[in-house]
A and B are shown apart, each in its own frame.
Chain A
Amino acid sequence: MSFISYLINGISLGSVYAIIALGYTMVYGIAKMLNFAHGDVIMFGSYAVFTIVSTLSLPTWLGMLVSIILCTVLGITIEAVAYRPLRQASSSLAVLITAIGVSYLLQNVALLIFGANTKSFSSVVSMAPLKLADGGLTITGETIVTISCCIVIMIVLTLFVNKTKAGQAMLAVSEDKGAAQLMGINVNGTISLTFAIGSALAAVAGMLLCSAYPALTPYTGSMPGIKAFVAAVFGGIGSIPGAFIGGIILGIIEIFSKAYISSQLSDAIVFLVLIIVLLVKPTGILGKKIQEKV
């Protein structure tokens, strides 16, 4: 029975990774950049919920709404101010380092406003836990909501990209910016939209993450951010189903290694699996193979 409960926990954690990874993978696909600040947007969103719900004692739905709006605006602003000027830069390292700078900036702003103390985040989920098998297996409300959220987001996002004009524009821009521009697509607008969606997803992921693991600090987003990127690479970066699969697998591996091998080594195991996958399939599970033409 504990195996099934670990599995469910793994899928739940994996769902959070998947939601973050979706944001990562969309941004990477379109801007070809490793957005190191993505994890810190998560942290910001969580602080927004915390402030509104716990400090100001306002309703939870309002906190969630503000968090999503704040993160969306934050994402668009970061892209416009820090990343857009570097889009044509001669080295891709420039925008990577800038993203690292933005990450430091967000962490330190949070540190100044909220302090270094760990805040106890109160869950945004009010659903009662589900008891199965005569109480032998308990599934928390957070778990159910997280997994359902992830599935809904995944489906909506897939439909959005494949069925809407804006989604098609995203695909076009990620394929070839120059050509997309010539076809009359607003490249800047499309990239902004991608950052907006990615950041809104980050807000959702932040709430779910902190509902399940309630300790909130300015560095909360950092490690999940990195792991979600690992998940995105794992599944094949740029691919939406890849991010989903990668996230879920990563979550399961992490929980299983914590449960059965060593809690201290769980991160190492997650990273080791990533390395093995990349060595066998250098562009991830669902990644496209690109060969340079001679």
Chain B
Amino acid sequence: MKTFVSKNKDNLITYGIVVVAYAVMEILIKAGLISSLMQGLLVPLCAYVILAVSLNLTVGILGELSLGHAGFMCVGAFTSAFFSKITMNVITVTWIRFTLAIVIGFIAAGLIGFLIGMPVLRLKGDYLAIVTLAFGEIIKNVINVLYIGKDSKGLHFSMKDAVALNLEPEGDVIINGAQGITGTPKNSTFTIGVILILITLFIVLNLIKSRDGRAIMSIRDNVIAAESVGINITKYKLLAFALSAALAGVAGVLYSHNLSSLMATPKNFGYNMSIMILVFVVLGGIGNIRGSIISAVILTLLPELLRGLSNYRMLIYAIVLIAMMLFNWAPKAQAFRDRLLDKLMFWKKKKVTVTEKEGGASDER
């Protein structure tokens, strides 16, 4: 039986797992046991973990389905990369600039999440899902036609092409439409990624176990009852949704500062990415933060580990995904698992009693 007092201890275990995994990874890297390909995957991996944890805040804690999470990541990625690019020569201390970039990504994505959430959180279920998907696609498409340049007169904007920016000859195109941003400083490291994971966990886990968290979960469990005890539904839905978006923005900052060339493609910021994050959340257990971390790690590494199987790896991934969903969720499979578990428990009990007897006997011997 799950109790709630143990939640504090539970949280410590979650932090512990992250720290230990980080330490093990660092040792393996130092020992030269990790391929450079795998090392290149570590920062995106951290970003995916943050995305999964933050999406779980919307899906698991608030209980609303969002398919636009990659859009918020996109906002964080581009605003922060833009900031880093234009301040590269102004703020020369890297850690200060990068910290500011993270804050900017957080605020920008959170703000967009707030603005989108205000009108759409009235919708429910699949309607909300399709609308968030739509917003995610809109964000991606708009960024693809956005041109921003800088010259001595300041910033220039256009939605047409780089020429329309009317830059002075020495001016610089910073966001170049579909070509995106090039030359973002590569500030993201595995260590920073893990620190950001820990901060995300700290925020999310502390929020869940607080007055606000209870209000959010009460909306998930029963909106009408929550209203009847005076919970401000709009406020807490927005809080959860905007915070979830803001943290996705942080993941975007991490992601964009790991690439020298940042483009908004369907692959990295499209609905397929949002869906992939949702898969992490659902497979890890809806509402289970630790599960999100673990499934994000496994599902990101799985295709890489299967790389030897070349073309078959995504096929296997798909089959594993379907099989796991059926095994985890089909009522028949659940019943089967319960029976199996009962049997195992029974054997265990039997075994325990037997070994006790044997133990007693051996004492005498």
- Is any CB of A less than 8 Å from a CB of B in the complex? yes
Shortest beta-carbon distance from B43 to chain A in Å: 24
A278 to chain B minimum Cβ distance, whole angstroms, is 6
**Which chain B residues border A102 with CB–CB below 8 Å?**
318, 322
CA distance A265 to B141 in the complex (A): 6
- Is chain A's interface secondary structure helix, strand, loop, or mixed overall? helix
B278 and A97: CB pair below 8 A? Answer: yes
User: Out of B119, B134, B325, which one reaches A230, CB within 8 Å?
Assistant: B134
- Chain A residues closer than 8 Å to B145, beta-carbon distance: 262, 264-265
> CA A82 – CA B314 in complex, angstroms?
18
Main secondary structure on B side of the interface with A:
helix
Say if the beta carbon of A105 comes within 8 Å of chain B.
yes
Given the interface contacts A98-B325, A268-B141, does A275 sit within 8 Å of B120 by beta carbon?
Answer: yes
Taking CB atoms, residues of chain B closer than 8 Å to A82 are: 322, 326
CB <8 Å contact, B65 and A93: yes
Question: Are A105 and B318 CB-contacts (below 8 A) given A264-B144, A271-B135?
Answer: yes
The residue in chain B whose Cβ has the minimal distance to the Cβ of A116 is: B311
- Which residues of A from 232 to 247 have beta carbons under 8 Å from B? 233, 237
Q: Which chain B residues in 114-137 approach chain A with CB under 8 Å?
A: 119-120, 122-123, 125-127, 129-131, 133-135, 137
Interface 0/1 of B186-226, CB less than 8 Å to A: 00000000000000000000000000000000000000100
Residue interface bits A146-179, CB-to-B below 8 A is 1, else 0: 0000000000000000000000000000000000
Interface presence of B231 (CB below 8 A):
no
**Is B65 a contact of A226 with CB atoms below 8 Å?**
no
The yes or no answer to A132 lying at the interface (CB within 8 A) is no
Contacting residues, chain A, for B21 (C-beta < 8 A) = none
Q: A89 at interface (Cβ–Cβ under 8 A)?
A: yes
| Contact among A93, A104, A111, A282 with B127 in the assembled complex (CB-CB below 8 Å) | A282
Specify which chain B residues have a CB less than 8 angstroms from the CB of A91 in the assembled complex. 282, 286, 329
Given contacts A97-B279, A267-B137, whether A112 and B130 have CB atoms under 8 Å apart is no
A28 CA to B129 CA in the complex, in Å? 14
Contact of B130 with A105 in the complex, beta carbons under 8 Å: no
* A292 CB-CB contact with B under 8 Å: yes
The answer to whether A34 and B126 have CB atoms under 8 Å apart is yes
Q: How far is A281 from B178 in the complex, measured between Cα atoms in Å? A: 34
Q: Counting CB contacts under 8 A, is A126 at the interface?
A: no
Residues in A with CB closer than 8 Å to B59 are: 93
Encode A29-61 as 1/0 by CB contact (under 8 A) with B: 000001010000000000000000000000000
Determine whether the beta carbon of B321 is less than 8 Å from that of A104. yes
User: For the complex, what is the distance from the CA of A262 to the CA of B126, rounded to whole Å?
Assistant: 29
B325 touches A233 (CB 8 A): no
Q: Do the beta carbons of A275 and B134 come within 8 Å of each other?
A: yes
The minimal Cβ–Cβ distance linking A171 to chain B, given in whole angstroms, is 20
Q: Which residues of B contact A105 (CB under 8 A)?
A: 315, 318-319, 322
What separation, in Å, do the CA atoms of A262 and B315 have in the docked complex?
36
Pick from A97, A230, A264, A275: contact of B283, CB under 8 Å: A97
| Nearest-Cβ distance from residue B163 to partner chain A, whole angstroms | 16
Listed stretches B30-38, B330-338, B357-365; interface member? B330-338
Asked if A274 is at the interface of the complex by the 8 Å CB criterion, the answer is yes
**Is the CB of A137 closer than 8 A to any CB of chain B?**
no
Q: Check if A112 sits within 8 Å of B315, measured CB to CB.
A: yes
B271 contacts the other chain (CB 8 A): yes
Question: Is the C-beta of A108 less than 8 angstroms from some C-beta in chain B?
Answer: yes
Nearest to A98 among chain B residues (CB) is B325
Q: Name the A residues within 8 Å of B317 (CB-CB).
A: 104
Report the separation of the CA atoms of residues A112 and B278 in the bound assembly, to the nearest whole angstrom. 26
| Across-interface contacts of A89 in B (CB, < 8 A) | 329-331
Q: Which residues of B contact A34 (CB under 8 A)?
A: 126, 129-130
B352 at the interface (CB under 8 A from A): no
Q: Give the chain B neighbours of A111 by CB distance below 8 A.
A: 311, 314
Flag if A275 contacts B122 (CB, 8 Å): no
Cβ contact within 8 Å between A292 and B224? yes
Q: Are A93 and B286 in contact (CB under 8 A)?
A: yes
> Measured between alpha carbons, how far is A288 from B231 in the docked complex, in Å?
29
A108-B318 contact, Cβ under 8 Å, with A93-B286, A94-B328, A226-B271: yes
Is A279 in contact with B120, judged by CB distance below 8 angstroms? yes
Q: Does A140 lie at the interface of the complex (its beta carbon under 8 Å from any beta carbon of B)?
A: no
| Residues of chain B contacted by A36 (CB below 8 angstroms) | 275
Find out whether the CB atom of A86 lies under 8 angstroms from the CB atom of B329: yes
Measured in the bound complex, the distance between the Cα atoms of B129 and A34 in whole Å is 10
One of B122, B137, B224, B283 near A271 (C-beta < 8 A): B137
- Interface residues in B125-163 (C-beta closer than 8 Å to A): 125-127, 129-131, 133-135, 137-138, 141-142, 144-145, 159
**New A-B pairs, 12, CB < 8 Å, besides A90-B331, A101-B318, A264-B178:** A94-B328, A95-B329, A104-B314, A104-B321, A105-B315, A109-B315, A226-B133, A230-B134, A265-B141, A275-B119, A278-B123, A282-B127
Chain B residues with CB under 8 Å of chain A are 59, 65, 119-120, 122-123, 125-127, 129-131, 133-135, 137-138, 141-142, 144-145, 159, 178, 224, 271, 275, 278-279, 282-283, 286, 311-312, 314-315, 317-319, 321-322, 325-326, 328-333
Q: List 12 A-B contacts (CB under 8 A).
A: A86-B329, A93-B278, A97-B278, A105-B315, A111-B314, A226-B271, A233-B130, A265-B142, A268-B138, A274-B130, A274-B134, A292-B224
